[in-house]
Amino acid sequence: MIADLRVHQVLAAVNQSARNRLVDLTTAELRAQPDWPALRDTITAWCESGFHLVRASAALHIHRNTVLHHMNKIEQITGRPLREHRTTTALHLACLADRLGGG
């Protein structure tokens, strides 16, 4: 389980300016969207559900098609596929940092 990896603790240990840079460089275009909180939650749920659409939609309490819509929007805006591990890792870390107040 992703929570077992203690990613949140690692990010919290990183200084605020480094977290801000991560958030700004990785999610600037996404954060400009009016539905940024929903996009951020989608990325987080997608990663923390083991990249499983049905589990992500259940965690978000939304229909799977809504998750797909959010994922497509994220891919269009970033120009990067969410099924690419480097992309999802960077976005996931930036979303967690954003929740910590990084950005």
pLDDT tens sequence across 19-30: 999 999 999 999
For the chain, list the domains and their CATH numbers: 2-99 (1.10.10.2840)
pTM (2 d.p.): 0.87
CA nearest neighbour of 94 among 4, 2, 7:
7
The band of 102, judged by pLDDT with boundaries at 50, 70 and 90, is very low
Residues 6+ apart with CB under 8 A from 83: 51
Cα(79)–Cα(28) distance, integer angstroms = 13
Contact by Cβ (8 Å): 41, 71: no
The band of 101, judged by pLDDT with boundaries at 50, 70 and 90, is confident
Can you give the pLDDT at residue 14?
85
Give the rounded percent of residues in the chain with a pLDDT score beyond 70.
93
